[in-house]
Amino acid sequence: MDFYEIEKIIEKVCKFNISYFEYKDNEMKIKMVKRNNIVNKNIAIHEISCSKETFIYHQITSKYVGVVKLLHKETLEPFGYIGMKVKCDDILCEIEYLNITIDIISEYSGIISDICVKNNDLIDYGKKIMIIAY
């Protein structure tokens, strides 16, 4: 998205009295908040603030062949979900191979932005499991 497109969005926010607008794609996040500041009874100043966030994405890939387990065995709760904040050394999922369970550990702190497999999927070496934005 270039500056011209952002400028058009700002114009629309002003024109239609939108007080909050948020846009997110794979490369950036734009958030606009419009506030009305009353200077005196007759004058109102419209203030729009914008911020742009750029994320770096890290693909978590399998170093093993086996069956992906996205849910805890005992609680059946997910290890993680899209939008969840994770820290370094958090368990993201498990891979079972020959009755051996291998924990897949996060190497990064960030947010899970995509889960590329389903619970109990067969997975090969090098296949993408999930993506973490940080």
pTM, two decimals, is 0.61
Asked if 131 and 60 count as a contact pair (C-beta separation under 8 A), the reply is yes
Instruction: Output the pLDDT for position 43.
Output: 47
Burial classification of residue 125, based on how many CB atoms lie within 10 Å of its CB (0-12 exposed, 13-18 middle, 19 or more buried): exposed
The amino acid at residue 83 is G
pLDDT tens, residue order, the chain (134 aa): 666 777 777 777 777 777 777 777 766 677 776 665 444 444 444 555 555 566 788 999 999 999 999 999 999 999 999 889 999 999 999 999 999 999 999 999 999 989 999 999 999 999 999 999 88
In whole angstroms, give the CA distance from residue 104 to residue 82: 16
CA atoms within 13 A on the CB side of 16: 9
Instruction: Output the pLDDT for position 8.
Output: 79
Instruction: Output the pLDDT for position 40.
Output: 47
Instruction: Output the pLDDT for position 7.
Output: 76
Instruction: Output the pLDDT for position 66.
Output: 96
Specify the long-range contacts of residues 23-30, CB closer than 8 Å, at least 24 apart.
Answer: 25/1, 26/57, 27/54, 27/55, 28/1, 28/52, 28/53, 28/54, 28/55, 29/53, 29/55, 30/1, 30/6
Instruction: Output the pLDDT for position 26.
Output: 65
Instruction: Output the pLDDT for position 20.
Output: 75
In whole angstroms, give the CA distance from residue 130 to residue 134: 13
